[in-house]
Amino acid sequence: MGEQVKYELNEGRIPKRWYNIQADLPKALPPVLHPATFAPVGPDDLAPLFPMSLIMQEVSTEREIEIPEPVRDIYRLWRPTPLYRARRLEKALGTPARIFYKYEGVSPAGSHKPNTAVAQAFYNKEQGVKRLSTETGAGQWGSSLAFAGALFGLEVTVFQVRVSYDQKPYRRALIESYGAHCLPSPSDQTAYGRAVLAKNAKHPGSLGIAISEAVEVAAQREDTKYALGSVLNHVLLHQSVVGLEAIEQMQMADAYPDVIVGCTGGGSNFAGITFPFIGAGLRGGHKPRIVAVEPAACPSLTRGRYAYDFGDTAHMAPLSKMHTLGSAFTPPGFHAGGLRYHGMAPLVSHLKELGLIEAVAYHQTECFAAGVQFARNEGILPAPEANHAVKGAIEEALRCKREGRADTILFNLCGHGHFDMQAYIDYSAGKLVDQPYDEQELAMALAGLPSVPEPA
Ligand SMILES: *Cc1c(COP(=O)(O)O)cnc(C)c1O
């Protein structure tokens, strides 16, 4: 058996431009709507929340968008990220398939999220913004934006979902070490937070509530803007560096993927690795199968409805057409914290509707089993979210074994699990339970979807 091979680009090979899949879509994305009037939003409607450069990226249909040199310069701290061939895992599975993985855990925050955090901080700084507000669940996004804010001298306020704030102190400590301010959400710092607390002083919080609080703070202050770590088009755009590098690295390995697998919470790491390959296919190149893996306890792509829905609980954020479980949906408590948003990125949802991607859902214990098997063969302990991608890749490799096919599989190992050891302790102790999705709650949340007239 050969050695594990690591395909490394030199730092000069960091992409110079992001890839925008909106240029290659066979059908344009449905417009984003105003939460009160349901009219399509224009750039000016979004100006209180985002700098104009990011708003223009949000609606751009240009295929390539230049990465500013100061952003590339920071990317050099950890990019290009390595691509590995998982030979030991292949052998352990007894599969004829070749398994490659792109490892984003080498970033300062330990995941793919700094790819967009740095870009967003740059554009805000460029427009003279002083302060960013954001939400975070387990803390990966909060720590990534805190890191980016530190590099650009921006103040960062993070509303962290209360259960995570109480149960996961280490990410909060990282956020604060980078110099950002971290508050439990619901908080008493916003009108919306106070309203939620008035009804339930011990509310555990949710991403939807934390987004509402962060948006409220940004909308009220001239010097403050809002930053989101997933879902939006410009976030997915920034993540394209992952797939663009992977295309070059696969060439070095003399390979091209037959199947690409990514885990989906809001859809950004999945888009990052897959969109450049999907775009190549749409422009006449090879068309690999594309598989999105989501948690069975928060199954927006496989069980949600494709409909217009609010991005947040207080309905201050615009409406997007996406696969959604309803903005009133509160996912059951489980450890894959980053995968608990009620909706899916509009671009990923659109590709699913167009039949360009597939989706599967797995329960968390089978994903942890896959992650542990991966660690025992490849050495890296994946983030709980990334375990879903590992599980998806292993299932593809086992399918190849059954069918006697030597497919090439590529997946995104979007982060390491070093801040998630309590979840691994609970898994080892047999304490993680697979919550079956509550049909009644889904029906109720979906019944609460807004009835929006289809825009012409
Ligand atoms: C935030 C996060 C996710 C989920 O977000 P996506 O936008 O779906 O990528 C997945 N994995 C890791 C490691 C994360 O930090």
Query: For residue 410, is it within any domain?
Result: yes
Would you state the pLDDT for residue 328? 77
Rounded CA separation 58/149 (Å) = 21
Q: What is the DSSP letter of 232?
A: S
Residue 428 pLDDT greater than 50, yes or no: yes
Is 414 a pocket residue for ligand 1 (Cβ < 6 Å)? yes
Query: For residue 384, is it within any domain?
Result: yes
Rounded CA separation 298/300 (Å) = 6
Nearest CA-CA partner of 414 in 296, 275, 244, 263: 263
> SS3 of 92, please?
helix
CATH of the domain at 265: 3.40.50.1100
Residue 337 pLDDT greater than 90, yes or no: no
Would you state the pLDDT for residue 317? 83
Can you tell me the mean pLDDT for 109-113? 98
Banded model confidence at residue 2, pLDDT cuts 50, 70, 90: very low
More confident of the two residues 226 and 1 = 226
Tell me what percent of the residues of the chain surpass a pLDDT of 70: 96
Residue 455 pLDDT greater than 80, yes or no: no
More confident of the two residues 392 and 440 = 392
Is 268 a pocket residue for ligand 1 (Cβ < 6 Å)? yes
Banded model confidence at residue 319, pLDDT cuts 50, 70, 90: very high
- For residue 300, what are the domain limits? 3-9+68-110+234-447
Query: For residue 443, is it within any domain?
Result: yes
Q: What is the DSSP letter of 416?
A: B
More confident of the two residues 174 and 311 = 174
More confident of the two residues 446 and 226 = 226
More confident of the two residues 390 and 341 = 390
* Lowest mean pLDDT segment, chosen from 11-15, 92-96, 239-243: 11-15
Q: Which of 141, 240, 263 to mutate to test the pocket of ligand 1 (most atoms within 8 A of CB)?
A: 263
Give the ligand 1 atom nearest the CA of 140.
15
- For residue 268, the CA-to-ligand 1 centroid distance in Å is 7
Is 339 a pocket residue for ligand 1 (Cβ < 6 Å)? yes
Q: What's the number of domains the chain is made of?
A: 1
- For residue 230, the CA-to-ligand 1 centroid distance in Å is 8
Can you tell me the mean pLDDT for 191-215? 94
> SS3 of 117, please?
helix
Banded model confidence at residue 338, pLDDT cuts 50, 70, 90: low
Residue 186: asked if its preceding bond is cis (omega within 30°), the reply is yes
Would you state the pLDDT for residue 4? 66
What is the amino acid identity at position 243? G
- Is 134:156 a contact under the CB 8 Å cutoff? yes
Query: For residue 417, is it within any domain?
Result: yes
Is 384 a pocket residue for ligand 1 (Cβ < 6 Å)? no
Is 371 a pocket residue for ligand 1 (Cβ < 6 Å)? no
Residue 380 pLDDT greater than 80, yes or no: yes
Query: For residue 199, is it within any domain?
Result: no
Is 137 a pocket residue for ligand 1 (Cβ < 6 Å)? no
What is the amino acid identity at position 244? L
Integer CA distances (angstroms), 362 to 75, 369, 372, 436, in order: 33, 11, 16, 11
Would you state the pLDDT for residue 340? 72
Q: Which of 81, 102, 140 to mutate to test the pocket of ligand 1 (most atoms within 8 A of CB)?
A: 140
Strands 131-136 and 224-226, bridge-based pairing: parallel
Residue 166 pLDDT greater than 60, yes or no: yes
Nearest residue (CA) to ligand 1, atom 10: 385
- Is 340:265 a contact under the CB 8 Å cutoff? yes
What is the amino acid identity at position 84? Y
Banded model confidence at residue 421, pLDDT cuts 50, 70, 90: very high
Query: For residue 16, is it within any domain?
Result: no
- For residue 316, the CA-to-ligand 1 centroid distance in Å is 24
Would you state the pLDDT for residue 444? 81
pLDDT, tens digit, for every residue of 269-308?
999 999 999 999 999 999 999 999 999 988 999 999 999 9
Summary mean pLDDT of the chain: 94
Query: For residue 200, is it within any domain?
Result: no
Q: Which of 104, 107, 113 to mutate to test the pocket of ligand 1 (most atoms within 8 A of CB)?
A: 113
> SS3 of 431, please?
coil
Is 140 a pocket residue for ligand 1 (Cβ < 6 Å)? yes
Nearest CA-CA partner of 104 in 73, 83, 76, 74: 83
Would you state the pLDDT for residue 331? 65
Would you state the pLDDT for residue 42? 92
Can you tell me the mean pLDDT for 374-384? 98
Banded model confidence at residue 1, pLDDT cuts 50, 70, 90: very low
Query: For residue 193, is it within any domain?
Result: no
Nearest residue (CA) to ligand 1, atom 5: 265
Would you state the pLDDT for residue 456? 57
Rounded CA separation 339/36 (Å) = 28
- For residue 244, the CA-to-ligand 1 centroid distance in Å is 18
pTM metric for this prediction? 0.96
